[in-house]
Amino acid sequence: MIEAAEFIAEATARGFDFYTGVPCSFLTPLINGVLSDRALAYVGATSEGEAVAIASGAWLAGRRTVVMCQNSGLGNAINPLTSLNAPFRIPTLFITTWRGEPGIKDEPQHEVMGRITADLLSLIGVENAPFPDALEKIAPAFAHAVSAMEASQLPFGWVMRKGDVADSELNAGPLPPRPAGRRDAFEETSEAPTRAGALERFLALVDPEAGVIATTGKCGRELFTLNDREQHIYQVGAMGGASGMALGVALNTPRPVVVLDGDGAALMKLGTFATIGAYAPKNLIHILLDNGVHDSTGGQATVSASVDFAAIALACGYSSAAACRTLDGFEQAYRKAAASGGPSLIHLKIAPGSMAVLGRPTVKPEDVARRFKAFLARPIAARAAA
């Protein structure tokens, strides 16, 4: 058994200073220790997959990250670990607990995952080892994990057993409630714009110093086809993870950050709205291009027709939210959001369909990630007027 402070001291010495995750009783001492250390950042996520996406964004912005979760939620993390971290070669230290460990009495819902936790991590290419449970094991365990991540540029996992970390008191209060935000409407009736038209208008408006995260599917493909810029990163997988990644970036850079989201993707990780509202990065603009369909898979309807995304954003703590139906309304909403503190949501209704000639990013995901990381690390030049 180790003390949380012993683990945190070694982690900090190794540069790990950004934590995110979903609690487990086995993790309680470690999470309490992190939350109680004012020098560290901890983001409580609404799902394990969201936590992986948030950590990915924080890594892009220069932080060394730790994701913590229960193994029952490991399944929620499989998608981003395999379709975000793997293709983009984004490392994180991934700590999962071992509920349902064979031979140890536990609740029935942990039985299956308890049998396969370490094997599942190995199967998806996440090298893993037992969590260091003695003081003399901590430094060698970190040395091995860091070396493995530097060599592979992939996550490394530790599997934590009950009692590996001694009890630790929580010395941190709850997040404060957010005041009601501002709602704007720019909903003049007209023919719905295309996604390409919205992206063209966006490209003309966006600050060249802003980081831009485009969701998977045709949004990223159209953005790349229209104008590939080093300020862009195109998610090619991890559907629903773009907003979490954007949050991780926004919390760790002074740059403006914009996420280009879709209705299907946003609905898949709707909990991220609450996390964004709670941690409230003032530099984040969340643009939701809503065509009511899954465009990349044949145009099947999403359930967005009955969803008021602006109301959801405000209920979750966004500073402002706008609903618009025209490109001129979108421009007004964007200029207003860029001039005021975020997080801001802009919900634009667009027409189904995509560009007739639609390419795919020709830059490898890992190269896009490193190009974007280098962009974020550069000193910020004078911002262009929105």
Q: What is the DSSP string of 61-74?
A: TT-EEEEEE-GGGH
Q: How far apart are CA 177 and CA 231, in angstroms?
A: 33
- Amino acid symbol at 120: L
Q: Pick the closest to residue 56 from 287, 233, 216, 275 (CA basis).
A: 233
Assigned token pair, 282: 């003032």
The residues that bridge with 74 in the sheet, in sequence order, are none
Q: Three-state SS for 174?
A: coil
Kindly report whether the peptide bond that precedes residue 343 is cis, defined as omega within 30 degrees of 0: yes
Q: Which fold has domain 182-377?
A: Rossmann fold (3.40.50)
Residue 386: its pLDDT value, please? 39
In the chain, pLDDT over 70 holds for what percent of residues?
A: 99
Per-residue pLDDT at 385 exceeds 50: no
Q: What is the pLDDT of residues 220-234, one digit of tens each?
A: 999 999 999 999 999
Arithmetic mean of pLDDT, 36-52:
96
Per-residue pLDDT at 178 exceeds 90: no
Assigned token pair, 54: 């948030």
CA distances (Å), 123 to each of 61, 99, 246, in order?
29, 19, 28
Helices then strands, counting H and E runs in the chain, come out as 15, 15
Residue 382: its pLDDT value, please? 63
- Amino acid symbol at 12: T
Q: What is the pLDDT of residues 79-135, one digit of tens each?
A: 999 999 999 999 999 999 999 999 999 999 999 999 999 999 999 999 999 999 999
Per-residue pLDDT at 293 exceeds 80: yes
The DSSP call for residue 2 is B
Task: For residue 141, count CB atoms less than 10 angstroms from its CB and return exposed for 0-12, middle for 13-18, buried for 19 or more.
Answer: buried
Strands 232-234 and 211-214: what pairing?
A: parallel
Give the architecture (CATH level 2) of 4-160: 3-Layer(aba) Sandwich (3.40)
Residue 256: its pLDDT value, please? 98
Q: What is the pLDDT of residues 126-174, one digit of tens each?
A: 999 999 999 999 999 999 999 999 999 999 999 999 999 998 888 888 8
Q: How far apart are CA 8 and CA 3, in angstroms?
A: 9
CB 192 within 8 A of CB 54: no
The pTM for the full model equals: 0.96
Residue 271: its pLDDT value, please? 97
Residue 246: its pLDDT value, please? 98
- Across the chain, mean pLDDT equals 94
Q: How far apart are CA 279 and CA 26, in angstroms?
A: 25
Domain 182-377 in the same topology as domain 4-160: yes
CB 168 within 8 A of CB 29: yes
Q: How far apart are CA 173 and CA 29, in angstroms?
A: 15
Per-residue pLDDT at 255 exceeds 60: yes
Domain boundary assignment for the chain: 4-160, 182-377
CB 290 within 8 A of CB 304: yes
Place of tokens 């195109």: 234
Per-residue pLDDT at 338 exceeds 50: yes
The residues that bridge with 214 in the sheet, in sequence order, are 234, 260
Arithmetic mean of pLDDT, 59-73:
97
Residue 282: its pLDDT value, please? 97
